[in-house]
């Protein structure tokens, strides 16, 4: 069994552990050139990236496990084996990204990003250009109430927040997307954690942003394509909303000329909210469990991706 590993965050020690647990022949493809060279031999890919040329060359690959949740680039590529099964890292990002969400909200509420700017300039100015605010007792909408959304809600509980969850397939206590617009005027914060699909691109457009109250802060840790960038800039400039905290943008990287960089009511992090030491551990646990299913039954069982749904 040939296992092509393209996840660049793995160390030699990690590769040794993978080899010991799977018994597979490890093909190390940490560059696109290496991965493309080994792809025709691969029976399985443990992939940190899904370069189209690599996927097209993987004509024998029966299963690909990506450690990440987003799979839009993989689904958009041509697969050398159209019957390949794709699994993702869903379930590995709830604790880490939800903590990032709270960090962004609390930093915004207390102007910590502006205080850091002042510290760098050696300025002592207690009155910052944005008012201090409290998370306690606020109403928080969570757009995309999956693993990340549930963990956000769990961490908001000690702040006595009222949480309204929204997802494409509603369940008990979680609203459908068709109800989303009616809740927007009541939200103090909107946390966005949707994957990128044909239905989510541009979903939070200017007409919806205008429905939010002026005190609302939008936090996006899902995909930048959810919010048309020009609409977001307009909402911030016209003060339809109070601010935005973005771990994802459209495009990425954010162009240097974008006005979002210098807006005092914006916090930007470079799509790194999930990168904690625990991510690798959780992702490998999922991979090893799936490997066992794959060996025993011929296919993995955990985090199967639906091409029609896009996640």
pLDDT per residue as tens digits for the range 226-280? 999 999 999 999 999 999 999 999 999 999 999 999 999 999 999 999 999 899 9
Instruction: Tell me if 151 sits within 8 A of 96, measured CB to CB.
Output: no
Find the farthest-apart pair of alpha carbons in the chain and give their distance in angstroms, rounded: 64
Q: For residue 144, give both structure tokens.
A: 């995309």
**Interval 79-97 mean pLDDT:** 96
Q: In the chain, what percentage of residues exceed pLDDT 90?
A: 94
Rounded CA-CA distance 69/91 in Å is 8
Q: Which one is predicted more confidently, 65 or 49?
A: 65
pLDDT at 144 over 70: yes
pLDDT at 116 over 70: yes
Pick the CATH number of 2-92+276-297 from 2.40.50.140, 3.40.50.720, 3.40.50.620, 3.40.30.10: 3.40.50.720
For the stretch 168-191, pLDDT in tens is 999 999 999 999 999 999 999 999
Q: For residue 156, give both structure tokens.
A: 């908001």
pLDDT at 35 over 90: yes
**Interval 82-101 mean pLDDT:** 97
Rounded CA-CA distance 154/22 in Å is 35
Rounded CA-CA distance 74/66 in Å is 9
Q: For residue 49, what pLDDT is reported?
A: 67
**Interval 86-102 mean pLDDT:** 97
| Homologous superfamily of domain range 94-268 | NAD(P)-binding Rossmann-like Domain (3.40.50.720)
Q: Which pLDDT band, with edges at 50, 70 and 90, does 48 fall under? A: confident
pLDDT at 129 over 90: no
Instruction: Tell me if 305 sits within 8 A of 86, measured CB to CB.
Output: yes
Q: Supply the mean pLDDT for the chain.
A: 96
**Interval 34-50 mean pLDDT:** 92
From the list 209, 269, 265, 219, the residue with the least C-alpha distance to 245 is 219
From the list 20, 51, 19, the residue with the least C-alpha distance to 38 is 51
Q: For residue 131, what pLDDT is reported?
A: 87
Q: Cα dihedral sign for 279, 285, 287, 288?
A: positive
Rounded CA-CA distance 177/170 in Å is 8
Rounded CA-CA distance 189/138 in Å is 8
What positions carry a catalytic annotation? Answer: 223, 252, 271
Q: For residue 227, give both structure tokens.
A: 């919010």
Which residue has tokens 């985090």?
Answer: 303
Secondary structure (DSSP) of 8-22: TT--HHHHHHHHHHH
Global confidence as pTM: 0.93
3-state secondary structure of 254: coil
Instruction: Tell me if 283 sits within 8 A of 67, measured CB to CB.
Output: yes
From the list 215, 172, 216, the residue with the least C-alpha distance to 192 is 216
Q: In the chain, what percentage of residues exceed pLDDT 70?
A: 99
For the stretch 195-220, pLDDT in tens is 999 999 999 999 999 999 999 999 99
Instruction: Return the domain boundaries, the chain.
Output: 2-92+276-297, 94-268
Rounded CA-CA distance 49/225 in Å is 19
Instruction: Tell me if 13 sits within 8 A of 33, measured CB to CB.
Output: no
pLDDT at 50 over 70: no
Per CATH, 2-92+276-297 and 94-268 having the same topology is answered: yes
């Amino acid at each position: 069994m040939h296992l092509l590993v393209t996840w660049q965050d793995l160390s030699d020690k990690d590769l040794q552990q993978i080899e010991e647990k799977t018994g597979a022949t490890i093909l190390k493809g940490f560059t696109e050139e290496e991965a493309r060279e080994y792809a025709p031999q691969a029976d399985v890919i443990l992939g940190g990236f899904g370069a189209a040329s690599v996927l097209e060359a993987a004509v024998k690959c029966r299963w690909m496990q990506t450690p990440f949740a987003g799979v839009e680039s993989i689904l958009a590529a041509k697969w050398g084996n159209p019957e390949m099964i794709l699994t993702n890292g869903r379930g590995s990002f709830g604790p880490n990204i939800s903590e990032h969400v709270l960090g962004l909200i609390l930093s915004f509420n207390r102007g910590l990003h502006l205080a850091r700017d002042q510290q760098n300039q050696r300025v002592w100015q207690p009155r910052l250009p944005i008012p201090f605010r409290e998370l306690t007792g606020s109403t928080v909408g969570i757009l995309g109430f999956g693993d990340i959304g549930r963990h956000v809600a769990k961490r908001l509980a000690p702040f006595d927040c009222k949480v309204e969850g929204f997802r494409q397939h509603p369940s008990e206590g979680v609203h459908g997307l068709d109800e989303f617009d009616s809740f927007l005027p009541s939200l103090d914060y909107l946390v966005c954690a949707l994957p990128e699909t044909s239905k989510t691109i541009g979903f939070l457009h200017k007409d919806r942003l205008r429905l939010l109250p002026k005190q609302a802060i939008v936090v996006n840790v899902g995909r930048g394509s959810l919010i048309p960038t020009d609409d977001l800039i307009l909402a911030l400039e016209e003060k339809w909303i109070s601010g935005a905290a973005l771990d994802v943008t459209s495009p990425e990287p954010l162009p240097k000329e974008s006005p979002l960089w210098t807006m005092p009511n914006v916090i930007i992090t470079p799509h790194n909210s999930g990168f904690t030491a625990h991510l690798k551990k959780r992702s490998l646990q999922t991979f090893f469990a799936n490997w066992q299913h794959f060996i025993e039954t011929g296919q993995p069982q955990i985090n199967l991706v639906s091409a029609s749904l896009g996640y």
